[in-house]
């Protein structure tokens, strides 16, 4: 128990000091190796939130797994729009609906999404010295991409918490740092 508290405190310290943004927490992420590679196809890609767009013939790694979930799971938080005109592709996997970006909601990488077993459940995100709850409504697909259904964006990495603007705002992360931000999270 003391070790878990120490891990959480360390994650919070790194997140609040800004040092966490310098690290990618790759040791756990690398434990989950790519299961294949997707050949990119270019198409119409919404860049509303500086989304990465697929490049023709580029190879993108595919993951069916994610690092293990702990009391302080290290991840990269990205920004996503869950609205109909947003950069999230189609409606959310959990309920087939679009959601307001004013709600604290997230999509998780395929391994963490666990075939929808986290749908509707809350996770706690720690970053920037703050902590917020967010509801899981979607999968950040780590296997498929570079097609219309995925807004011609590549598959997500295996350690992504794709969060609405409301999550970023609640964590008081400065606009200049919105994009890829190192966080810690756990099931709530």
pLDDT of residue 101: 96
State the 10-residue block means of pLDDT for the chain, 188 residues long. 44 43 42 93 87 94 96 96 87 96 98 98 98 98 94 95 98 94 97
Give the span between the Cα atoms of 120 and 139, in whole angstroms: 12
Task: Please give the angle made by the CA atoms of 159, 69 and 175, to the nearest 5 degrees.
Answer: 45
Q: The pTM is what?
A: 0.82
pLDDT of residue 69: 95
Domains of the chain, residue spans = 2-187
Give the span between the Cα atoms of 149 and 132, in whole angstroms: 30
| Rg over CA atoms, the chain | 16
- And the tokens for 127? 């970053």
DSSP label at 125?
A: E
pLDDT of residue 25: 41
pLDDT of residue 6: 43
Topology classification of domain 2-187: Barwin-like endoglucanases (2.40.40)
Question: Which ranges in 103-143 belong to alpha helices (H)?
Answer: 110-113
Backbone phi, then psi, for 163, in 5-degree steps? -110, 150
| Helix or strand run (H / E) with residue 160 | strand 160-163
């Amino acid at each position: 128990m003391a070790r878990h508290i120490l891990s959480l405190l360390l994650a919070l310290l790194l997140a609040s000091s800004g040092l966490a943004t310098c690290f990618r927490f790759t040791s756990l992420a690398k434990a989950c190796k790519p299961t294949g590679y997707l050949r990119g196809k270019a198409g119409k890609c919404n860049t509303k939130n500086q989304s990465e767009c697929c490049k023709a013939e580029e190879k993108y790694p595919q993951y069916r797994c994610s690092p293990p979930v702990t009391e302080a799971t290290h991840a990269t938080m990205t920004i996503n729009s869950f609205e109909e005109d947003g950069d999230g592709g189609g409606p959310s996997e959990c309920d087939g609906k679009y959601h307001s970006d004013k709600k604290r909601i997230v999509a998780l990488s395929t391994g963490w999404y666990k075939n929808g077993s986290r749908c509707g459940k809350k996770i706690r995100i720690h970053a920037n010295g703050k902590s917020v709850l967010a509801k899981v409504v979607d999968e950040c697909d780590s296997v498929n991409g570079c097609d219309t259904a995925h807004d011609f964006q590549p598959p997500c990495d295996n350690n992504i918490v794709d969060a609405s603007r409301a999550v970023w705002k609640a964590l008081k992360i400065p606009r200049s740092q919105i994009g890829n931000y190192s966080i810690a999270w756990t099931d709530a």
